[in-house]
C-alpha cells in the first residue's frame, strides 16, 4: 500500500470518528433517496400526466411542491425542544399506525 493510500484511508477514518459523522451520513442518504424518488416520479408519471393535463410535468411539479413543503416542515420541527417530542410521541405513534391501516379499509377503489 502506498503512502498516499494510507493517508487517504487515515483521513476518512478520522472523519467517521467525528461525533457529527452520523448526522451527515443520514443527511446524504436522505438527500440521495429523495432526489432519486423525485426523478422516479417524473419518469413514471410523464405519460399519464400528458394524457390528463397536456403537460408531462404537472404530476412532477405537484410532487415537487409536496417535497418542498415537507422540507419546510422538517426545518420547522427540527427546532422543537425534546419536551415537545416527548409529549407527542404516544399520539403520533397511534396516528401513524392508523394511517398505515387506511389502505386496508375496503370500500373505495
Task: Quote the percentage of the chain above a pLDDT of 70.
Answer: 94
What is the average per-residue pLDDT within 41-66?
90
pLDDT value of residue 12: 72
pTM higher than the cut 0.85: no
pLDDT value of residue 65: 94
What is the average per-residue pLDDT within 39-58?
89
Q: Residue 11 — very low, low, confident or very high, per pLDDT cuts 50/70/90?
A: confident
Of 38, 35, 15, nearest in space to 25 by CA:
15
Amino acid at each position: 500500500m502506498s503512502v498516499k493510500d494510507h493517508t487517504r484511508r487515515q483521513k476518512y477514518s478520522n472523519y467517521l470518528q467525528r461525533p457529527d459523522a452520523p448526522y451527515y451520513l443520514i443527511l446524504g442518504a436522505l438527500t440521495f433517496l429523495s432526489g432519486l424518488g423525485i426523478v422516479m416520479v417524473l419518469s413514471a408519471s410523464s405519460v399519464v400526466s400528458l394524457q390528463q393535463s397536456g403537460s408531462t410535468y404537472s404530476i412532477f411539479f405537484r410532487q415537487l411542491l409536496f417535497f418542498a413543503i415537507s422540507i419546510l416542515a422538517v426545518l420547522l420541527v427540527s427546532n422543537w425542544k425534546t419536551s415537545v417530542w416527548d409529549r407527542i410521541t404516544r399520539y403520533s405513534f397511534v396516528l401513524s399506525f392508523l394511517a398505515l391501516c387506511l389502505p386496508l379499509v375496503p370500500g373505495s377503489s
